Amino acid sequence: METSWTFGRCLLLVEDDPSNRMTLAALLEEAGFAVVTAGSYAEAEKWLNHPRPIDAVLLDQSLGDGFGTGLIPLVRHHMPGAKVVFVTGADSAIDMPVDAVFRKGDHFEALLAFLFKLLPQRPLGMSSSAPGPRRP
Amino acid sequence: MGARADLQARERAAVADVVASTLRHDLRNKLASVRNASFYLMRKMQKTDVWSTDARVEAFFQLIDRELAAAEEVLTRRAPVASSDKPLCHASEAMEQGLREARVPEQVRVERDFKARGTVPLDLEDLALLVRCLVDNAVEAMPRGGMLTVRTWDVEEGEGGVGIRVEDAGEGLAAEAYSRAFEPFYSTRPGHAGLGLNIVQRLVLRNGGKVALDGGPSGGTHVEVLFLHRPEAGARMRLAGHDEIRGSK
């Protein structure tokens, strides 16, 4: 399922639910992304304080040991170019400075479409045939 | 229904709301995992011979998708809003009611500074419940007594609004507690349900406000709630216990 627009892109997935983390990471990797995962607020905080280049952070809100919103300033500070997608299972999304909000339970293709819109297009030759997310 | 009974009923409803919301959140997590796993497996199966030789495989994946969508729909369905009228109340009035209903012991002194003249987009009873939750928390932070400071003020910047602040002179919180304090069922005190601040957050966010918890330089913690006015042309508003008015403020 790898597509050229995802190739070479790295995502940080912050999600404390092990099943969600495993399945979402598998789908993102299958789509062609490199995926780094953090299973708690503390783990994500440690990662963000020693950042590597990443294109987007997928951020869950309830992390057991903290709120995902608390990590947004760290992302903005250490990775000003990274997009932040809030992945929430809550009833209503809190008004917050993120680039997109994805509701858990929505189809994975919708998340891919968000990422396709958010991530800057690369010059021709690096991603010449970016087709966007496939339809199921 | 008397004011106290009404406040208790609202408190029970708020607790039930937190519990239901937490369950919905947890179920949504599980459904999302099943949906993602199913989608992954379907992608893999599409590349095998079974996909074309056994039509039931595709039909079953479609069935899983449909059933998950139906379960999501059940989770998302909410009770209809009873009225399009928007409630309003005066912050200082709600502060007094919340303080009366809270359990403030004698060894806690209360300093009031109520300057707000503007209105807040909540029923008086809901705002009183919010205040009571904050005051209960502040009192529990000072088991040996101390100063409880409650303030309201008019926000002048932008479209204006009203600010509310409840401050205790306790020992403050550990760093972790500041980031977790609004989580449902999180409490640093044994025997406490840990719902108060979550109820506050839900009431504030549902009505377009902002809430922040912080510590002071000389110890203690304070919670600040801001209800900023947003222009809503032609909005019909109801001032709790007063005549109907029109306008955004």
pLDDT tens-digit profile of A76-112?
998 888 999 998 877 665 566 788 888 887 889 989 9
pLDDT at B231: 55
Looking at the structure, tell me whether residues B146 and B201 fall in a common domain.
yes
Looking at the structure, tell me whether residues B131 and B193 fall in a common domain.
yes
CATH of the domain at B123: 3.30.565.10
Say if A83 falls within a structural domain. yes
Q: In which domain, by residue range, is A87 found?
A: 10-118
Say if A70 falls within a structural domain. yes
Query: Cβ contact (<8 Å) for A20 and B24?
Result: no
Residue A71 Cα, gap to closest chain B Cα (Å): 10
pLDDT at B6: 66
CATH of the domain at A55: 3.40.50.2300
Per-residue pLDDT reduced to its tens digit, A109-135: 989 998 999 998 766 544 434 444 443
Q: Which of B51, B76, B101 is the last residue of a domain?
A: B76
Looking at the structure, tell me whether residues B240 and B214 fall in a common domain.
yes
Looking at the structure, tell me whether residues B213 and B91 fall in a common domain.
yes
Say if A61 falls within a structural domain. yes
- Residue A11: strand pairing partners: A35, A56
Q: Which residues in chain B touch residue A108, judged by CB atoms under 8 angstroms apart?
A: 35-36, 39
Q: Does A86 touch chain B (CB under 8 A)?
A: no
Q: Which of B23, B50, B76 is the last residue of a domain?
A: B76
Looking at the structure, tell me whether residues B57 and B105 fall in a common domain.
no
Say if A79 falls within a structural domain. yes
pLDDT at B238: 37
Looking at the structure, tell me whether residues B96 and B72 fall in a common domain.
no
Say if B189 falls within a structural domain. yes
pLDDT at residue A12 greater than cutoff 70: yes
Residue A7 Cα, gap to closest chain B Cα (Å): 19
Residues 37-76 of B with CB under 8 A from A: 37, 39-40, 42-43, 68, 72, 75
Query: Cβ contact (<8 Å) for A104 and B28?
Result: yes
Is the CB of residue A67 less than 8 Å from the CB of residue A97? no
Say if A5 falls within a structural domain. no
Q: Which residues in chain B touch residue A30, judged by CB atoms under 8 angstroms apart?
A: 40, 43
Q: Does B32 touch chain A (CB under 8 A)?
A: yes
What are the residues whose beta carbons fall under 8 Å from the beta carbon of B226, sequence distance 6 or more? B155, B161, B162, B163, B164, B209, B210, B211
- Structurally, chain B folds into a number of domains equal to 2
Say if B146 falls within a structural domain. yes
Distance CA B30, CA B28 (A): 5
Say if B113 falls within a structural domain. yes
Distance CA B54, CA B32 (A): 27
Say if A136 falls within a structural domain. no
Per-residue pLDDT reduced to its tens digit, A22-64: 999 999 999 999 999 999 999 999 988 887 889 999 999 888 7
Q: Which of B12, B42, B76 is the last residue of a domain?
A: B76
- Structurally, chain A folds into a number of domains equal to 1
Looking at the structure, tell me whether residues B58 and B17 fall in a common domain.
yes
Q: In which domain, by residue range, is B22 found?
A: 3-76
Say if B81 falls within a structural domain. no
pLDDT at A100: 86
pLDDT at B33: 92
pLDDT at B88: 83
Residue A19 Cα, gap to closest chain B Cα (Å): 6
Element (H, E) at B39: helix B3-46
- Encoded amino acid at A56, one letter: A
Pick from B226, B200, B213: which is nearest to B10 by CA?
Answer: B200
Looking at the structure, tell me whether residues B20 and B119 fall in a common domain.
no
pLDDT at A93: 56
Looking at the structure, tell me whether residues B140 and B224 fall in a common domain.
yes
Say if A129 falls within a structural domain. no
What are the residues whose beta carbons fall under 8 Å from the beta carbon of A41, sequence distance 6 or more? A63, A64, A65, A66, A67, A68, A70, A71, B179
Say if B37 falls within a structural domain. yes
pLDDT at B239: 38
What are the residues whose beta carbons fall under 8 Å from the beta carbon of A58, sequence distance 6 or more? A11, A12, A13, A14, A15, A24, A85, A87, A102, A111
Looking at the structure, tell me whether residues B155 and B200 fall in a common domain.
yes
Q: Is residue A30 exposed (0-12), middle (13-18) or buried (19+ Cβ within 10 Å)?
A: middle
Looking at the structure, tell me whether residues B12 and B106 fall in a common domain.
no
Say if A110 falls within a structural domain. yes
Which letter, b or e, does each residue of B200-235 get, where b requires 16 or more Cβ atoms within 10 Å of its Cβ?
bbbbbbebebbbebebeeeebbbbbbbbbbeeeeee
**Phi, psi angle pair for A25, to nearest 5°:** -60, -40
Residue ranges for chain B with pLDDT beneath 50: 79-84, 233-249
